[in-house]
Amino acid sequence: MQKGFAYTRLADRLASVAELSERDLDLLTRMPSTISHLSSYDRVQHRSDRPLRCCLLLQGYLCWRDQTERQITSIYVPGDIPDLHTLSVPRFDAHLTALGPTVVAFVPHDFFCEISSLSPALRHALQLLVHSDMACLRNWIVNLGSRDSLTRVAHLFCEIAVRLRAVGLAGDDRFPSPFTQSDLASACAISPVHTNRIIQELRRRQLLTWQSRTITIEHRQALSSLARFDPGYLGMREAVTSENHGIQRPAAPATLSAAPACY
């Protein structure tokens, strides 16, 4: 079986939400892709685009950023497909933007339609990715609307760390920062000055360090407790969640309601 860079990231992400067979994984090796290297704040997709391909994140971080307010409304880690919804709704209402140096693979919509028709398990896994994205957005709204700024920042760090560990990254609770402190301020709807104070407070509590472009979670359970973080909304498989967080979760549902478009 081919073990290319793009294939591995996609296989890891899909396997984090659904159990896939060797046959299912073999179908992924057919994936055509165009690799692109991006610099910080490059726009991957523009608000006015009507794409015929999806963007698979291979390295670095991406975000959806509002055009007018500059507000970051979601962050993506390697293995994510931020615009998978364009299979059924081929338009954007924000800009998909790189956070730091980033590597992406552009994959034609037709490929996802093909593997969905050939494998119910892959179709189900793609559905779960879209549902997970929606759940993250709902949690993002709660984060901004109901949590104080310290809890808000801690919760975001906990989520990113769990999502990275699910695809084989940040196993030692250390990972490249997805953003500058200014970006973190935009993601959490606080000022850059306030953001700096919160980072200093997390350091004072010995929960987290942020040196140069590297974040280290010093005490995972204590940070999760401060954030009141429960990873259930991420929709990951029981084995993935329990390994990452020590919490047992029921398996993902065997079926979903009828999926839009080709998946």
CATH topology of domain 141-245: Arc Repressor Mutant, subunit A (1.10.10)
What pTM was computed for the model?
0.86
Res 255 pLDDT > 60: no
CATH number of 5-121: 2.60.120.10
Neighbouring C-beta atoms of residue 69, cutoff 10 Å: 10
**What percentage of the chain reaches a pLDDT higher than 90?**
64
Every domain of the chain and the residues it spans: 5-121, 141-245
Residue 198's nearest CA partner among 62, 139, 187, 172 is: 187
Of the ranges 86-95, 124-133, 218-227, which one carries the lowest mean pLDDT score? 86-95
Alpha helices (H) along 68-191: 109-118, 120-146, 149-166, 181-188
Residues in the chain: 263
Q: What is the tens place of the pLDDT at every residue in 120-175?
A: 999 999 999 999 999 998 998 888 888 999 999 999 999 999 999 999 999 889 99
Mean pLDDT (the chain) is: 86
Of the ranges 2-6, 63-67, 100-104, which one carries the lowest mean pLDDT score? 2-6
Contacts of 52 (CB under 8 A, 6+ apart): 90, 108, 109
Q: Which amino acid is at 51?
A: P
What integer pLDDT is reported at residue 52 of this predicted model? Answer: 87
Q: What is the tens place of the pLDDT at every residue in 177-222?
A: 888 889 999 999 999 999 999 999 999 999 999 988 899 999 999 9
Q: How many CA atoms lie within 13 A of 66 on its CB side?
A: 9
